[in-house]
Amino acid sequence: MTQTLIPAPPASETRPAPRRRFRIGGARVMHFYTWLLIAWLALPILVMILFGFNNPSGRYNQTWQGPPTLKWYRDLFALPDLTDALIASLVVAVISSLVSGALGTGIGYALGRYRFRGAGATNLVMFAAISSPELVMGASLLTLFVSMGVGPGWTTLTIAHVMFSIAFVATVVRARVVTLDRSIEEAAADLGANAWTTFWKVTFPILLPAIFSGVMLAFALSIDDFVISNFTAGNVQTFPLWIWGSTRVGLPPQVNVMGTLIFAVGVLIAVIANLRSRPRKQQD
């Protein structure tokens, strides 16, 4: 409004201000709607947080019985099974994200940097691994282990988690390798660095943030995985598997507390990572 009232300075008369004419009507409605959808997405999360403070009388923690209590936060580790399940999830996630990080980085770097025979087949397998239903991947791994006579457990669980993370890590790394400015490496070579030194002193540090986000993605995929774990874990209980098993007998409020804490830590890490990466983005 004010802009139309104040006469524009002469300099800008020759160059009209950029018009954003593709702003079609209904923006306010869409803005309101966006917030409505975000509220809907947050609703179950609020329920999870709320019922961590619930004071249920029976086994089932699904009706609100006040007054709010902190006792489940105090007794967070009172259920040994649940604590073990959380530890199992963390152990598998750490191992599988590191292994798939190393294996995926190799594939991602090769696909981004070199043209080679078999690149197409590698791409195809990666695409299939990303788009196959988890149910089928988990089930087929079970058939392999059954026909080999291998009982499912820690090893098979970790093997499966590495398998479904590799393609995601490789995709993230490849995206960064493709945008890599080759002249920096050439400059290093001009200054007398050999291929090995150039890679470790120049290329690798540039790729490190992408490798790190690939590993973080693998970690997040692993810790949340239920479907593939359900087929390959055997008697090992991870956090999602334990929750699944306990739904039949009533969910203890500690699950809500742990869910809330994982949520809080995850959001915190994401916010910090985003704040740290901001100055770098502005330079690009």
Partner 1 sequence: MNRVKRALAPYLLVLPGGLWLLLFFVVPMATMLSLSLQEGDIVNGYVFTGHWQTYVEAISDYQTQLIRSLVYGAITSVILIVLAFPVAYWIAFYGGKKKAIYLFLILLPFFVSFVLRTISWRMLLTDDGVLLHPLKEAGLLSSGFHLLGTPTAVIGGLVYNFLPFMVLPIYVALERIDPRVVEAARDLYASPATAFRKVIFPLALPGVFAGVLMTFVPASSDYVNSELLGGTSTTMIGQVIQSKFLHTSDYPTASALAFSLMAVLLLGVFAYARALGTEDVMKVAAR
Q: What is the footprint of partner 1 within residues 149-188 (CB under 8 A)? A: 159-160, 162-163, 166-168, 170-172, 175
In the block, residue with structure tokens 């990666």: 126
In the block, residue with structure tokens 């089932």: 60
Give the burial class of 257: count Cβ atoms within 10 A of its Cβ; 0-12 exposed, 13-18 middle, 19 or more buried: buried
CA–CA dist 74, 55 (Å, integer) = 13
Contact in structure between 241 and 229 (CB atoms under 8 Å) = yes
Q: What's the closest the beta carbon of residue 125 comes to partner 1, in angstroms?
A: 5
Three-state SS across 89-155? HHHHHHHHHHHHHHHHHHHHHHHHHCCCCCHHHHHHHHHHHHHCCHHHHHHHHHHHHHHHCCCCCHH
Listed residue (266, 108, 96) closest to 165, CA to CA: 96
The amino acid present at 35, given as its one-letter code, is W
In the bound state with partner 1, the residue whose beta carbon lies nearer, of 9 and 58, is 58
Using the rule CB under 8 A, is 208 a contact of partner 1?
no
Cβ-proximal residues to 278 (8 Å cutoff; 6+ apart), any chain:
none
Using the rule CB under 8 A, is 143 a contact of partner 1?
yes
Helix (H) or strand (E) holding 283: helix 253-283
What residues numbered 232-251 form the site for partner 1, per CB under 8 A?
A: 239-240, 243-244, 247, 251
What residues numbered 69-128 form the site for partner 1, per CB under 8 A?
A: 100, 102-104, 106-107, 109-111, 113-114, 116, 118-119, 122-123, 125-128
In the block, residue with structure tokens 């910090």: 272
In the bound state with partner 1, the residue whose beta carbon lies nearer, of 1 and 27, is 27
Q: Which of 137, 202, 215, 218 binds partner 1 (CB under 8 A)?
A: 137
CA–CA dist 181, 206 (Å, integer) = 10
Q: Residues in the chain, how many?
A: 284
Q: What's the closest the beta carbon of residue 94 comes to partner 1, in angstroms?
A: 17
In the bound state with partner 1, the residue whose beta carbon lies nearer, of 106 and 153, is 106
Q: How many residues bind partner 1 (CB under 8 A)?
A: 97
In the bound state with partner 1, the residue whose beta carbon lies nearer, of 7 and 283, is 283
Q: Which of 8, 78, 87, 130 binds partner 1 (CB under 8 A)?
A: 130
Contact in structure between 236 and 153 (CB atoms under 8 Å) = yes
What residues numbered 36-55 form the site for partner 1, per CB under 8 A?
A: 37-38, 40-45, 47-48, 51
Using the rule CB under 8 A, is 215 a contact of partner 1?
no
Q: Which of 1, 24, 191, 249 binds partner 1 (CB under 8 A)?
A: 24
In the bound state with partner 1, the residue whose beta carbon lies nearer, of 62 and 77, is 62
Q: What's the closest the beta carbon of residue 45 comes to partner 1, in angstroms?
A: 6
In the bound state with partner 1, the residue whose beta carbon lies nearer, of 69 and 122, is 122
Q: Which of 14, 131, 235, 282 binds partner 1 (CB under 8 A)?
A: 131
Q: What's the closest the beta carbon of residue 76 comes to partner 1, in angstroms?
A: 15
Token output for 10: 């002469």
